[in-house]
């Protein structure tokens, strides 16, 4: 009898041990299945946003400004450090026009701090004076990991030129073809969103004529990070006669200025304007004999084009 009880005790104990092992294995399998389910469709665990890189221009009185763009890179924020450098550009409508010089003032400070990611672009020479009145050059479309976009870098080749009165002159780019022109952005990229990074060469402030007749590129560049639902509007109009050389400026209450030159038919368009009241100034060339025309209280509304009456010079 005692022997039978002892055998039953050991059988019961062995059954409990097997049961506990099965429960432990089941728990481990459940955890593994949960981990796999959480990462289904996203092996790396990184979420991205779709970003278009676009090039536009502010006007200047040259026949052409040819920029040889051979590379484009961007840098994302890293978790273990913060980089503090001087703001060089305009982001989301706040302008800060500062000459970038050779684009390398802070190379020694942060060149190794963070990963520079190369964007696949087709090297090309762009006449940036053609990128006005709503025209733009799409440099690349890219999927960027969500986070803070710290900087972009434009790498220029050796074939940048300026055309003045029909003469094509080499445009010297200090150090531009080596490590590139770095532009601060410091803007948040959210996963699943669509953005345009609009790179605006302010040609009128970027080209410097030296005393010996040479031309230097000292880039002043503005950047806007534009989202699909951002509240921008536009101003359009017509200049007569159409062959009169003029500049058209839109100036808001903060004295931020957006400018363009009319097309051959005299039409113009200034876009990416924040809603509000603007003063529009039409400025003929100095030797034209005409005075500036100023139009006050031009209201810009979200996602609308404010059309102005024809400005005639007679």
- For 124-163, how does the pLDDT look when each residue is reduced to its tens digit (9 = 90+)? 999 988 888 888 999 999 998 888 899 999 998 889 999 9
- What b/e string do you get for 216-240 counting C-beta neighbours within 10 Å, with b at 16 or more? ebbbbbbbbbbbeebebbbbbbbbe
User: pLDDT tens digits for 69-79?
Assistant: 999 999 988 44
Query: In the chain, count of helices (H) and strands (E)?
Result: 3, 21
CATH class of this structure's domain 231-314? mainly beta
In the chain, list all ranges with CATH 2.60.40.1120. Answer: 231-314
Q: Average pLDDT for residues 286-296, to the nearest whole number? A: 91
| CB 103, CB 175: distance < 8 Å | yes
Q: What CA–CA distance (Å, rounded) separates 290 from 120?
A: 47
- 47-229 adopts what CATH topology? Immunoglobulin-like (2.60.40)
Q: Could you read off the pLDDT of 188-235 as tens digits, one per residue?
A: 989 999 999 999 888 878 888 888 888 888 888 888 888 877 889 999
pLDDT value of residue 294: 95
Residue found under tokens 């090297």? 123
* Backbone CA torsion sign across 234, 235, 239, 244: negative
pTM over 0.85: no
Three-point CA angle 134, 283, 296, nearest 5°: 80
């Amino acid at each position: 009898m005692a022997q039978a009880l002892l055998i039953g005790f050991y059988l019961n104990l062995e059954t409990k041990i097997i049961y506990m092992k099965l429960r432990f294995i089941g728990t481990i399998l459940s955890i593994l299945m949960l981990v796999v389910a959480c990462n289904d469709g996203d092996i790396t665990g990184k979420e991205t946003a779709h970003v278009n890189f676009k090039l536009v221009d502010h006007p200047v009185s040259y026949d052409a400004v040819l920029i040889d763009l051979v590379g484009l890179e961007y840098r994302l924020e890293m978790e273990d450090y913060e980089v503090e450098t001087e703001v060089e550009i305009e982001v989301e409508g706040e302008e800060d026009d500062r000459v970038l010089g050779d684009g390398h003032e802070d190379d020694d400070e942060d060149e190794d701090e963070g990963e520079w990611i190369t964007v696949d672009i087709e090297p090309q020479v762009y006449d940036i004076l053609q990128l006005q009145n709503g025209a733009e050059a799409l440099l690349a479309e890219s999927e960027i990991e969500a986070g803070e976009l710290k900087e972009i870098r434009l790498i220029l080749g050796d074939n940048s030129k300026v055309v003045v009165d029909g003469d094509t002159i080499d445009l010297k780019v200090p150090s531009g073809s080596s490590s590139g022109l770095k532009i601060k952005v410091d803007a948040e990229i959210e996963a699943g969103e669509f953005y345009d990074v609009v790179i605006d060469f302010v040609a009128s402030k970027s080209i410097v004529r030296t005393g010996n007749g040479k031309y230097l590129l000292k880039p002043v560049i503005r950047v806007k990070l534009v989202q699909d639902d951002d509240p921008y509007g536009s101003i359009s109009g017509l200049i007569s006669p159409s062959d009169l050389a003029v500049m058209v400026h839109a100036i808001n209450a903060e004295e931020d200025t957006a400018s363009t030159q009319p097309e051959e038919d005299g039409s113009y368009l200034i876009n990416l304007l924040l809603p509000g009241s603007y003063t529009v100034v039409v400025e003929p060339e100095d030797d034209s004999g005409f005075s500036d025309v100023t139009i006050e209280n031009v209201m810009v509304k979200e996602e609308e084009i404010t059309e102005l009456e024809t400005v005639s010079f007679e």
